Structure 1
Amino acid sequence: MKFARFDDLSRLAGRRRRRRGVARDIWRTRLWPLPAAGVVLAVLLGVGLPIFDAWMIDNLPAQATALLFGGGPESARTVLSAIATSLITVSSLTFSLTVVTLQLASSQYSPRLLRTFAQDRFVHVTLALLLSTFTYVLTVLRAVRASLESHSAFVPQLSVTLAYLMALVSVVTLVAFLAHLARQIRVETLLDSVHTETLQTMRRCADGCGQTEEASTVVTPETGTVLLCGTVSGFLTSVDEEALLRTAVDTGSVVVLDPFPGAWLTAGTPIAVAWPVTEGRAERDRLDAAGLSHLLSAAIQTGAERTAAQDIAFGLRQIVDITIKALSPGINDPTTAVHALSHAAALLCEAAGLNLGPLMLRDDRGRVRVVVPRPDMPALLDLVISQPLLYGAADPHVTARLFTLLGEVAWSTRRPEHLAAVHNQLLRLRAAVDRQEYDRAERAWMEDLVRLVQAALAGRWEQGAFRQS
């Protein structure tokens, strides 16, 4: 019996993209794979190239030999030793700069931004090049020998020349790394990186999600249901859709997850509800809550930190963190807060045009067997508005940007549930403004913005309505 069938090929492609996204996120955020691979290749090259050198050197034309290293054994050892010593120092400097940058990002912006630096491919390549060059030079150094009674002198000219070229490339890469690092610690670059990653996550997770109306047809029965509890504590980082669907089909049940990806799970507390796919007392009695909970836990991944693999709200959480950090008395940078809210507005407008409803997984008969929830527009809008409003309501420019955000989202969607969420946030924002000690000009500004948001809700846009400095 087939255990899985999606309605069309687009849903199957969406599931594959989400699985690739999880695997890619796992490897992108680790610093060690690329440097480790570089070290292994450097050892192999350092062992194999001198052997090729000894076989090939006599067959090279004179023009090619003139371009290679021409010193004796002592000169070769001196050059290789100098390269190795300098590279280990440069590698230590690179590690130190990376750690300092991570500390700066954690204290100045948000601890959750450390993942952005950890997955920086330029950092991976730089560390891999420096460490592999150092390893290659040490490996080649062992092949250089002076004239002994039983061995003739040997200088792997091609290998030493390659070591010299790799050292030059390492120096150029170090300069480029410093320039790259100076750009990466700018808040504009960080916001752009988070924006891009969040947009990719939203588009990837939108594939195969069901409409809100379709999800509402999956009604939890009043009787015959069992609660499924988690077995491990941690953030829900990803859901293995194929394994979860297989579990539901093999146990003859319908499984509805309760937490969104990114939510914290506590071991021993309910995380899903299940019931038999066919009615009947016998079917209900056959549902093993403990066994089903174990199978469910095997189909989901938890971790010590949130990731962007399937967590739509994580990027917005990072942007909000930057916003409220900029509004803190120790930093007091409302301009950064306004810029961050602009990125959040762009993401919300993008989300308004995507289908981010619950993910519906069906069996081979087309019946919904698994429902994986996703944050909807009201939840995302509340995430972006709540804390900036709490910490920045006293600043009229921050408040004005929140009004602007609502107007932009209202203009980007005509879905009734989206417009209702914008209207509710508008009422909330107006109430917060009424509690502030604004002067007459600032209050007039806020009232103008309220009217402009109301016009956007009605489908009207006025040129220059939300212009800000």
Structure 2
Amino acid sequence: MTSRPRGGRVEALRGAVSGALWPLPAAAILAAVGLGIGLTELDQELAFGDDPIRFVFTGGPSAARTLLSAIASSLISATTLLFSLTIVTLQLASSQYSPRLLQTFVRDRVVQTCLGVLLGTFVYALVVLRTVRSADEAQGSSFVPRISVTVAFLLMLASVAALVTFLSHQTRQLRVETMMRDVHDESSRTRARLQERQGDQPDGPLPEVPGSARPLCARSSGFLVQVADGPLLEAVTGCGAVLLLDRRPGDPVVAGAPMAWAWPQGAGDAVPVDELEGALQRSVDLGHERGDVADPSYGLRKLVDIAARALSPGINDPTTAGHALSHVSALLGDAAVRDTWHRRLTDEDGAERLVLRSWTFPELLDLGVTQVRHYGREDLTVVDRLFGLLAEVAWRAHTPLQREALRHERDALVEQSCASPPPGRTAEDVQRWARTVDAALAGQWLRPAG
């Protein structure tokens, strides 16, 4: 009835690498260096001389140097252009939609691959260029690495294709619909990963913290990204304690403030606070920004940011807010598979030792609805879409906790909209919208009026 413990360090490293722009280009540069050295050695062994094989470079040392120099100089210019366009895209996404979208752009494999192809070809051309020799040079005989120069030409063609691909891809990426789709896909993958980790765990509230519990304080600050629960479970079990982590993935952690509770498993035992705080410090992954590794709310946060920014007076784009709410509706409906995402781990004897707090369905619903409801209260499109969102999620709700949370959000939306109906609508229209939510909660979908 518990999920399997995880080490966490490998996953933390994988998350850090996948969320960075440099690993794939760096790997391409290393591969280019190795390929340049290896092919020139092959050229040395084959030594075609004046009778090269077909379909390879047939020019002399001067022509080889000219070609390789042209490739290197043109590609460094193209790479500069690619970097410039990427920075412009990041600035636009940050200012126009949400700063949290930058992670999505940075981990974009198309951008990383195009950058890797251009940089790799540039480095390869330089590595091969250093081996070209003329007959009058110190080595005494000319040498043209014909296979290597031919491969450089082919890589140059691949670089042109990569640049065209990048320009086409960035044109699509600048569309807000594409950004929201990418956020939706990321959040869906996170939810699927968390659901797999949950296994057959009970779907229920957190255990009560007894009066004998002692607070465990954080020793550094940051956002909780994930927890290496395997080592932490081992440390808690060795201390004969039970630990409840009181921070959800994505929550801020402040050094010196309590972030967990620990209490002895047996009556009268003492809790080694210092030892447990040290184990907690080693096991939690705190970042300077949030991550979606174990946070089911992060995708919702990004979509709500887009909707709230679209509703600001400076942008005034309720259509984008409505599209964002459609993605929010789909994600909340998927999240309705469970009431809670808490994780419970036991020792070898089956005793519950470690409880990791996470997000609940009511918290996710509140995150996805409340802020947009506040900023879009005077817009007919947004209010109508919010009622539609609640009805769609209510149709997929299957537990009393979820239905109660939906009723709470419906009541808040009805109260706000009746007090100040959107332009062109009345309180009767608001009640009509509310009835669609009530019908969905009852397992019925209202037929359209004739």
The two structures, once aligned, show a CA RMSD in angstroms of 2.0
Pick one of 275, 287, 292 that aligns with 1:291.
275
In structure 2, which of residues 17, 25, 32 is the aligned counterpart of residue 35 of structure 1? 25
State the match for 1:450 in structure 2. 434
State the match for 1:3 in structure 2: none
Indicate whether 1:107 and 2:98 are aligned: no
Partner of 1:219: 208
Identify the residue that residue 202 of structure 1 maps to in structure 2.
Answer: 191
8 Å Cα contact 1:211-1:358 kept in structure 2: no
Please name the residue that 1:137 is paired with: 125
Mapped contact 1:377–1:418 kept (Cα < 8 A): yes
Q: 1:14-413 alignment to 2 at 5 Å?
A: 22-58=12-48, 65-148=53-136, 150-209=139-198, 210-213=201-204, 215-216=205-206, 218-222=207-211, 224-280=212-268, 283-284=269-270, 287-354=271-338, 356-413=340-397
1:291 CA displacement: 2.3
Contact 2:297 2:364 in 1 (8 A): yes
Give the % identical residues: 43
Structure 1, unaligned stretches of length 5 or more?
1-6
Question: Displacement of 1:66 after TM fit?
Answer: 2.5
TM-score by length of 2: 0.95
Deviations 1:108-162 (A, max 9, x none): 1000000000000111111111111001101101110100264211111111010
Q: Choose the corresponding residue for 2:419, options 417, 435, 441.
A: 435
Given that residues 246 and 357 in structure 2 are in contact (C-alpha distance below 8 angstroms), is that contact kept between their aligned partners in structure 1?
A: yes
Asked whether the equivalents of residues 421 and 430 of structure 2 are also in contact (C-alpha less than 8 Å), the reply is: no
Deviation at 1:333, TM superposition (A): 0.5
| Secondary structure class of the residue paired with 1:145 | coil
Amino acid at match of 1:265: V
TM-score (norm 1): 0.91
Structure 2: how far apart are the matches of 1:335 and 1:113?
Answer: 19
Shift of 1:444: 3.8
The C-alpha deviation readout for 1:225-274, integer Å capped at 9, x for no partner, is 21100011110111111011111101110000111010001110111110
Unaligned runs of 5+ in 2: none
Alignment size in residue pairs: 446
For the structure 1 residues 293 and 375, does the alpha-carbon distance in structure 2 shift closer, same or farther, using more than 3 Å as the test? same
Q: Is the 8 A contact 1:396 1:442 kept in 2?
A: no
Distance in 1 between residues matched to 2:359 and 2:422, nearest whole Å: 35
Does the C-alpha gap of structure 1 residues 356 and 199 become closer, same or farther in structure 2, counting only changes over 3 Å? farther
SS in structure 2 at match of 1:301: strand
Q: Relative to structure 1, is the Cα distance of residues 36 and 208 closer, same or farther in structure 2, using a 3 angstrom cutoff?
A: closer
Between the aligned partners of 2:422 and 2:322, the Cα distance in structure 1 is 18
Q: Is the 8 A contact 1:18 1:205 kept in 2?
A: no
Partner Cα distance (1:20, 1:410) in 2: 39
Aligned equivalents of 1:18, 1:356: Cα separation in 2: 22
Secondary structure of the equivalent of 2:260?
A: strand
CA gap 1:300/1:278 in 2 versus in 1, 3 angstroms? same
